[in-house]
Structure 1
């Protein structure tokens, strides 16, 4: 990777009117500090100097240089960027690193992620950008030609779009979104906060929301140096989890678990502990046979890398789905769940037409098994997996997302909420993912093809 330019001007884009927020977003507090201060601290660690592109908002800054939009007011974020580029070129800076005041958190090592030839932006968050100051003479005529959308400028200067390794920043457009971010921060590593859209079936209105989702990550468990299992877990209280797992597996008593050590690695956690010698035969047997506990797609895998094997994106672009079709499938799903109706203890996986008709449905006590049965039945009956969507009466976990992607079904809709890893794997697999589907609404979690734009 090419090293970043030598002199960098940090520019905080803060010229918006905060109409939806109801007050100045830059002054709003998160974790006891203003949003402006959060962005300033993040850029200060990576830039030689910082300015605030405040438009007409002269109340901001708190000692930082303020730049008015150029070449005229009310040009949106590009007016602030134009002013920053002109200032950078006149002051001897090689490039401008931009971050909006209302998108948090600022990605770690933003400068390093965007470094390279020419301009670069964060994918789908184009206001996080690295812009060579030599672009200054070109943005003003672009704006005077009436081109004010950020995407128009990204395309005009052939900016590279860089995908972030973790969850994308959250656009803090309303007090409710900021409140969700604050609540998520208080819960620490147990949750992530993701931007989603809520689709109302009655009004067809779509509104931006923030959803707190539980973190799901692989935990590789090793006992006495032997890989025993990789389990999906929320990475809190992991000492308790590993101890309880050893006890519930019948491998040791509480006082016999020694040298419990946790190590965070790329993609997950490794937990190591020593158990009494009498547990060794069972450990070796487990290593040899890998007891199959269900079709969840994770039990028995002793490698985090294997647990998070790369996903080939779904090749088929999803069909356009009307909200009425989704609502129809949800309404009739229970009528097709014969085992579920009789027992109250079975999951269903259905394949539905673009009109919302249920073409095929399978049931099982295991949500993963129900989906496997559905995919198998579709294969045996030569049903085109690209010609509809999957609907599951289950929590949206990563393995269900992975199975859907590998099956080649372009759209997955689930009754319950997703985990953090399910969202990440849906993005990797370019799967259109909807969750928390109810009679009145559904959350649009991932929409790579713009099905619901």
Structure 2
């Protein structure tokens, strides 16, 4: 709708969505300056990501949805700037306050705000805020839509000594809108910027998720973001026949199909052609043609294939079946973070096979006070969990009255097994995949990962358990 060099744009035609919801909103885009961060070393708006400044990325993200654009708390040639209100040094809310006053004076109805140092901003940002009430993206509370009539209320809030964004949200009744599929990175340090750059180069193989870090020493929980490997169902079709669905990262999929056919003994190198990939609902499909002599083996194995330790769902010929809906866990975990720390400290002495061989995973069921009730081991992490769940059933243990601790990477199938068994909480030693996080949230499973002697990553906390003691 506008160029970055303009603050006021002429009235725009009323959109179909606006005509259905009432009078058209006239929106001022407000970019909240990141300032000179001591941890970053320079003005973050000048930092480069994908060859463009963070400020330029922010402009490109919100400008199409706005009728005007201003920069708050900073100055850039060609872009209208506002001084903080009531005065400088009062934090990012002072920039928002200035934008609300300016918008009201210039005939706007709302302000769409976004920090210049939070990325990647979705190109359809405004679609997250369909109504007229104040609303923000959850956990990124300066990304929001604000009616202009809030200007005086926000100024009183700041003059009263309040600079807390959370306090302001409560005071103005702002809705907290869940984020979309990908988390956002708050670029506070050069490492954050490096992480953003690296993840961009990896494309669809990585996603960001907002998480918390629990410190066992002081019980403090701090917010952050983590890049996790993407895990999706990949359906493999040879000669038009659905052969298997594998859980994999959606990168180098043609190499995956060729190597899979080779390792399965279906074809030799150079005998495969017509390779192709396409994205399907919930996953990817990879297709290849193998020589005619391979067809009997393809048909036979497609009919009789059984689950394997490294896959967990081999033989499922439907991506939809691989992502069958999960019934949420009904039980609610009731424990203090110290119980997790206690169980982790005791796990090693329950790993007899692991201590002898150094090559076995352990799955332990722990009471809410941190005592290890039962442990099972196996070379496969899925097998270890299945053994544990079977033991709990045979011993008559109440699976809702404890949590599972795993010495393994947190994959999607481990989450699903835990949810379906009715266990309300899972703690893993290694990092989660993207699908593990998605399925944990779907199943209302409390999930902690990267559990160490000092901290653990709080991946999903649907009941606010980890924040009750802080």
Pairwise same-fold verdict (TM > 0.5): yes
Rounded Cα–Cα distance in structure 2 between residues aligned with 1:62 and 1:452: 46
Question: Cα offset for 1:195?
Answer: 4.9
- Aligned-residue Cα RMSD (Å) equals 2.9
Residue 324 (structure 2) pairs with residue 305 (structure 1): no
Question: Cα offset for 1:212?
Answer: 3.8
- More divergent stretch after superposition (388-397 vs 202-211): 202-211
Alignment of 1:265-344 (within 5 A): 265-294=280-309, 297-323=312-338, 325-344=339-358
Q: Indicate conservation of the 8 Å contact 2:313/2:322, yes or no.
A: yes
Rounded Cα–Cα distance in structure 1 between residues aligned with 2:317 and 2:255: 20
Tell me what 1:218 maps to. 233
Q: Indicate conservation of the 8 Å contact 1:15/1:53, yes or no.
A: no
Q: Indicate conservation of the 8 Å contact 1:11/1:53, yes or no.
A: yes
Tell me what 1:347 maps to. 361
Rounded Cα–Cα distance in structure 2 between residues aligned with 1:272 and 1:334: 44
SS, match of residue 254 in structure 1: coil
Question: Cα offset for 1:393?
Answer: 0.9
Tell me what 1:88 maps to. 103
Q: Which runs of 5+ in 1 are unaligned?
A: none
Tell me what 1:11 maps to. 30
Q: Indicate conservation of the 8 Å contact 1:171/1:195, yes or no.
A: no
Residue 408 (structure 2) pairs with residue 394 (structure 1): yes
Question: Cα offset for 1:142?
Answer: 4.8
Residue 433 (structure 2) pairs with residue 419 (structure 1): yes
Q: Which runs of 5+ in 2 are unaligned?
A: 1-14, 19-23
Deviations 1:89-140 (A, max 9, x none): 3223332221112211112311123224533322222222122335445544
SS, match of residue 256 in structure 1: coil
Q: Indicate conservation of the 8 Å contact 2:34/2:117, yes or no.
A: no
Question: Cα offset for 1:21?
Answer: 4.0
Q: Indicate conservation of the 8 Å contact 2:183/2:208, yes or no.
A: no
SS, match of residue 184 in structure 1: helix
Tell me what 2:456 maps to. 442
Inter-CA distance 397–384: structure 2 relative to 1 (3 Å threshold): same
SS, match of residue 240 in structure 1: helix
Question: Cα offset for 1:206?
Answer: 5.7
Tell me what 1:118 maps to. 133
Tell me what 2:466 maps to. 452
Q: Indicate conservation of the 8 Å contact 2:184/2:208, yes or no.
A: no
Deviations 1:207-243 (A, max 9, x none): 6665443222221112222222111112221111011
Question: Cα offset for 1:262?
Answer: 0.7
Structure 2 residue aligned with 1:369, among 367, 375, 383? 383
Deviations 1:121-180 (A, max 9, x none): 222222221223354455444555555433344344444433233121012233332332
Deviations 1:415-445 (A, max 9, x none): 1122222223333333332222233443333
Structure 2 residue aligned with 1:238, among 245, 250, 253? 253
Tell me what 1:30 maps to. 49
SS, match of residue 3 in structure 1: helix
Rounded Cα–Cα distance in structure 2 between residues aligned with 1:85 and 1:203: 40
Residue 65 (structure 2) pairs with residue 46 (structure 1): yes
Q: Indicate conservation of the 8 Å contact 2:445/2:462, yes or no.
A: yes
Residue 187 (structure 2) pairs with residue 168 (structure 1): no
Rounded Cα–Cα distance in structure 1 between residues aligned with 2:454 and 2:194: 24
Rounded Cα–Cα distance in structure 1 between residues aligned with 2:312 and 2:265: 23
SS, match of residue 386 in structure 1: coil
Tell me what 2:7 maps to. none
- More divergent stretch after superposition (251-260 vs 155-164): 155-164
Structure 2 residue aligned with 1:248, among 255, 259, 263? 263
- More divergent stretch after superposition (197-206 vs 427-436): 197-206
Tell me what 1:107 maps to. 122
SS, match of residue 465 in structure 2: coil
Inter-CA distance 182–195: structure 2 relative to 1 (3 Å threshold): farther
Moved over 6 A (4+): none
- More divergent stretch after superposition (382-391 vs 357-366): 382-391
- More divergent stretch after superposition (261-270 vs 113-122): 113-122
Q: Indicate conservation of the 8 Å contact 2:274/2:289, yes or no.
A: yes
Rounded Cα–Cα distance in structure 2 between residues aligned with 1:310 and 1:165: 19
TM-score norm. by structure 1 comes to: 0.87
Rounded Cα–Cα distance in structure 1 between residues aligned with 2:203 and 2:434: 14
Deviations 1:347-383 (A, max 9, x none): 1110112332111111222211211222233233343
Rounded Cα–Cα distance in structure 2 between residues aligned with 1:237 and 1:410: 36
Q: Indicate conservation of the 8 Å contact 1:2/1:117, yes or no.
A: no
